[in-house]
Amino acid sequence: MSIHIGAAPGQIAETVLLPGDPYRAKWAAETFLSDVTCVNEVRGMLGFTGTWKGKRVTIHGSGMGMPSLSIYVNELIRDYGAQTLVRIGSCGAMQESVKVRDVVLGMAATTVSTPSRGIFRELNFAPTADFGLLHAAWTAAQARGVTTHAGNIYSSDVFYDERPDLNEQMTRHGVLAVEMEAAELYTLAARHGRRALAVLTVSDHLLTHEALPSEDRERSFGDMVEIALEAAFA
């Protein structure tokens, strides 16, 4: 048991999927896993462990933003031995070619600041995904016929952004989408020698202002979860 995760030793699998929303963790675990057990309810951040095609998986909420994710990922690695960590979540498209419902794989994550910024000081560390996971996720997405993009994403530390000039420069430089957690996930994975990837569903578009209707989200997010699971065990 750690400070923020109440699971007993052995209850967390080496492979962990990380949605931000704890109730999305519940939905994903009940939809895609067998023999599911709730292993954490501390502070309402739900975590579940079960099996997928006979392989143990934990699906655990990470909260909103990099500081929250940093807490859970640090404890999952340090206290429970997590080896493969895949963020599954939504993102906002920043390129015309990226459409609502598409899947985005984060090769690298641009950011203004992260909880790890104090360690690097003047160094602009470039956090990247694990290539094996990235390649496996791309292959899985192509096999499923899901329109997928791989490239740079932006991990913002604010949800209500008031820097349209900054967004314009990221769009100009090919950043695919914006989310709020991947840069810290990739940094922690690099620090501890673990594998990490962000598999994201485009739920809205910063340029066209299109948004995914709520009734369509479950089907679209389902593709993302299955891609993440296939990549983790490829």
Which token pair is 231?
């990549």
**Would the annotation count 2 as a binding residue?**
no
What is the per-residue pLDDT across 204-224, written as a single tens digit (0 to 9) for each?
999 999 998 877 776 679 999
What are the pLDDT digits (tens) for 53-62?
Answer: 999 999 999 9
Residue 181 annotated as part of some ligand binding site? yes
Residues catalogued as catalytic: 204
Do residues 59 and 29 touch, judged by C-beta distance below 8 A?
yes
Please indicate if the annotation marks 191 as binding a ligand.
no
pTM for the structure as a whole? 0.95
Q: What is the mean pLDDT of the chain?
A: 95
Question: pLDDT tens digit string along 62-94?
Answer: 999 999 999 999 999 999 999 999 999 999 999
CATH topology of domain 15-232: Rossmann fold (3.40.50)
Provide the token pair at 98.
């990226």
Q: Where are the domains of the chain?
A: 15-232
Is 214 annotated in a binding site? The answer is no
The helix, strand and coil proportions of the chain, stated in percent and rounded to the nearest 5, come to 35, 30, 35
